[in-house]
Amino acid sequence: MNKKYTWVMALVVLVAVSIAGFLFFGTNSKTQKAENQNTKTAQNTNGTAPAPLYQQTIAVTASGFKPQTLTVKPGTRIIWLNTSGATTTVNSDNYPTNLLFPFLNLGRFGNNQSVSTLFTSVGKFTYHNELNADQRGTIIVQ
């Protein structure tokens, strides 16, 4: 009987510790995913995100991206700030597949929210608002 009691108590403690660990680590993971959901960053070869050297903001208005074309230097973080009054998106061209520049598929974000990404490579990067494909923008990195 004493052994049965010991096994039952050990099992109860093990289940309680497992549940507490799941709640703690599961909640932390979900919070981190939510915080990082709308931020995509290029990675260095060692797996760390490079720090931005510069920063520029593009307003997403009811009529589109302002400015529509932006020229920046490598190492610039672009922040899209939604001031449109509605949910919007930043997605890579070509519409509707969004496959040309996958790191620009930043997804939906609400009014007064922002998304961002770091441009590390020279090039011309085009994007659009998936919810209104007539709203287009271009980032030129040189």
Full pLDDT tens readout for the chain, 142 residues: 566 666 666 656 555 555 545 445 443 333 333 333 344 444 334 455 667 789 999 999 999 999 999 999 999 999 999 999 999 999 999 989 999 999 999 999 999 999 999 999 999 999 999 999 999 999 999 9
In sequence order, what are the residues at sequence separation of 6 or more whose Cβ sits closer than 8 angstroms to the Cβ of residue 58?
Answer: 65, 66, 67, 70, 78, 79, 80, 81, 137
CATH number at residue 94: 2.60.40.420
69 and 8 in a single domain? The answer is: no
63 and 120 in a single domain? The answer is: yes
The Cα 29–Cα 117 span in angstroms is 21
61 and 21 in a single domain? The answer is: no
9 and 72 in a single domain? The answer is: no
59 and 116 in a single domain? The answer is: yes
The residue written with tokens 């190492």 in the block is 75
Q: What residue numbers bound the domain in which 15 lies?
A: 1-36
Domains: count for the chain: 2
28 and 45 in a single domain? The answer is: no
Number of neighbouring beta carbons within 10 Å of residue 109 = 19
The confidence score (pLDDT) of residue 140 equals 97
The confidence score (pLDDT) of residue 19 equals 57
69 and 119 in a single domain? The answer is: yes
